[in-house]
């Protein structure tokens, strides 16, 4: 048997254990191939191919498998501007399907680097957030600038980026370069917003690795981590983001700034594609000229574009994706790199081990996934907010955009599981919220604020030790 696929647990065990008190599945029946390590308990998969992010966990069977396939199809299918099934795109939008930005459930190569900003042919693979300098939104635009539109409709504006390059050196003489983006917007559909009145931040897609496990996290454990996350000797003090969704104040986990409590499936259909649904029944450009332009192109706004049942299938698809196992764990360089990861204190924010709630998750239309419950997982994140630095010596990640309690310089710790497979899955190694880092070394060297101490510890390592730490990250 191919050792990459040599893993199983019986259907009998799945059915029997799903009735246990904690509604979980034991990991004792999973046979771990040599050189691998479990990342997400029974949701761990042993693939390192281009579909490593886009394969169901082994517990997806029967009716759930059917729904997974439907959700996968809806996630990837290109939506059109007609009013039939699979339509509803626009009038303005950012992506024409979930999969257009999250190719293979990963991070599609951003047009920032390929086209210098807003892409052509109705595609950009990024979100452009805009606000006034005082944090308020613009009446004619809202929080997101939609840089794409259906035929016959004017986009809200177009983004351009220019990079300035500055070269630095490690103490041993090896050079590295950081690329700082400067964003500008043109072709405003309404009144032009002057640069001095505008804050603009860009987000490229997040990997959809471990979404179900994130939703199943025990909030008590995350809040305990926040209480514990106080390491003054390293300048680290993480905190939770709390947001109000559906009228309930809750712990934020999802998004670059932990600004959401769920996977934003409904928001994604609405804001990213202009697809109306039960939670967001109004067009995203309601009250703007694009609505009338859409009507002139034959769009009708008298019914919702996607049902709650369909969206829940997408929710199920995302939450039941398998998580790639760690690879090359017996490689001496990877072992050394893991030691250096701890020496650099990366683990104080990129926490290696967390646990999920006993009863798993509940999807947006109340379907339960108990198989996600009671698991020990290794996401390499505390899911807390940390100050990542302001503009000091040209380096800092403050984007001046407030999300819930998160200030402009605060970002949720990025989960690292699966990060080493991004190039295989998506064909690029652009990292950080806007893809400014072209590789993992640059991503580390962009760390400031609470990441400054770890960056400097990494910086002062020998080249051999730095390379080993990068090899460890690529094993995740």
Smallest CA-to-CA distance from 317 within 208, 206, 426 is with: 208
pLDDT at 422 over 50: yes
Q: What is the pLDDT of residue 345?
A: 97
pLDDT at 452 over 90: yes
Q: How far apart are CA 374 and CA 460, in angstroms?
A: 40
Report, as an integer, the average pLDDT of 252-273. 96
- Is the pLDDT higher at 134 or at 367? 367
Strand partners, 422: none
Report, as an integer, the average pLDDT of 226-245. 95
Percent of the chain exceeding pLDDT 70 equals 92
Q: How far apart are CA 133 and CA 195, in angstroms?
A: 10
State in Å, rounded, how far the first CA of the chain is from the last one.
24
Q: How far apart are CA 344 and CA 347, in angstroms?
A: 8
What is the tens place of the pLDDT at every residue in 94-129? 999 999 999 999 999 999 999 999 998 788 999 999
Burial classification of residue 332, based on how many CB atoms lie within 10 Å of its CB (0-12 exposed, 13-18 middle, 19 or more buried): exposed
Q: How far apart are CA 255 and CA 412, in angstroms?
A: 8
Report, as an integer, the average pLDDT of 24-37. 56
Instruction: Report yes or no: 56 and 68 within 8 Å, Cβ to Cβ.
Output: yes
Residues in the chain: 476
Report, as an integer, the average pLDDT of 405-412. 96
12 — pLDDT class (breaks 50, 70, 90): very low
Burial classification of residue 18, based on how many CB atoms lie within 10 Å of its CB (0-12 exposed, 13-18 middle, 19 or more buried): middle
Q: Which helix (H) or strand (E) holds 130?
A: strand 127-132
Place of tokens 């990060």: 419
Q: How far apart are CA 435 and CA 109, in angstroms?
A: 9
Strand partners, 158: 186
**Angle at CA of residue 443, ends 345 and 110, nearest 5°:** 145
Q: What is the pLDDT of residue 246?
A: 85
Instruction: Report yes or no: 350 and 381 within 8 Å, Cβ to Cβ.
Output: yes
Q: What is the pLDDT of residue 159?
A: 97
- Is the pLDDT higher at 35 or at 107? 107
pLDDT at 20 over 50: no
pLDDT at 24 over 90: no
């Amino acid at each position: 048997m191919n050792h990459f696929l040599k893993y199983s647990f019986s259907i009998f065990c799945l059915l029997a254990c799903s009735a246990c008190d904690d509604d979980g599945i034991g990991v004792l029946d999973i046979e771990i191939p040599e050189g691998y390590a479990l990342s997400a308990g029974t949701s761990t998969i042993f693939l390192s191919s281009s579909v490593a992010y886009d394969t169901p966990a082994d517990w997806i069977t029967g009716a759930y498998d059917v729904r997974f396939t439907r959700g996968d199809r809806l996630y990837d299918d290109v939506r059109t501007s007609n009013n039939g099934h699979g339509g509803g795109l626009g009038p303005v939008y950012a992506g024409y399907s979930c999969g257009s930005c999250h190719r293979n459930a990963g991070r599609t190569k951003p047009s920032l680097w390929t086209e210098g900003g807003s892409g052509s042919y109705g595609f950009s693979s990024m979100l452009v957030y805009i606000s006034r300098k005082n944090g308020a939104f613009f009446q004619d635009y809202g929080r997101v600038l939609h840089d794409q539109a259906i035929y016959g409709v004017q986009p809200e504006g177009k983004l351009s980026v220019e990079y300035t390059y500055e070269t630095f050196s490690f103490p041993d003489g090896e050079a590295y370069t950081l690329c700082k983006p400067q964003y500008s917007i043109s072709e405003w559909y309404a009144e032009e917003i002057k640069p001095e009145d505008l804050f603009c931040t860009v987000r490229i897609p997040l990997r959809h690795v471990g979404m179900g496990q994130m939703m199943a996290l025990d909030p008590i454990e995350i809040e305990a981590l926040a209480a514990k996350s106080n390491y003054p000797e390293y300048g680290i003090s993480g905190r939770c983001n709390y947001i109000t969704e559906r009228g309930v104040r809750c712990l934020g986990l999802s998004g670059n700034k932990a600004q959401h409590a769920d996977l934003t499936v409904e928001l994604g259909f609405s804001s990213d594609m202009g697809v109306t649904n039960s939670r967001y029944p109004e067009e995203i450009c309601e009250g703007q000229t694009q609505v009338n332009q859409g009507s002139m192109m034959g769009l009708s706004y008298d019914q919702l574009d996607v049902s709650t049942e369909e969206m829940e299938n997408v929710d199920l698809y995302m939450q039941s994706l398998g998580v790639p196992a760690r690879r090359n764990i017996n490689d001496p360089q990877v072992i050394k790199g893991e030691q250096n990861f701890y020496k650099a204190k990366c683990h104080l924010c990129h926490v290696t081990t967390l646990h999920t709630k006993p009863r798993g998750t509940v999807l947006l239309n109340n379907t339960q996934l108990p198989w996600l419950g009671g698991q020990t997982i290794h996401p390499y994140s505390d899911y807390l907010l940390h100050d990542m630095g302001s503009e000091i010596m040209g380096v800092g990640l403050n984007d001046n955009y407030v999300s819930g309690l998160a200030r402009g310089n605060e970002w949720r710790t990025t989960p690292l599981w699966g990060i080493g497979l991004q190039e295989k899955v998506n064909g690029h190694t652009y990292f950080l919220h806007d893809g400014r880092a072209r590789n993992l070394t640059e991503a580390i060297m962009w760390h400031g604020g609470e990441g400054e101490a770890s960056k400097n510890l990494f910086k002062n390592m020998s080249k051999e030790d730095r390379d080993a730490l990068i090899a460890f990250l690529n094993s995740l």
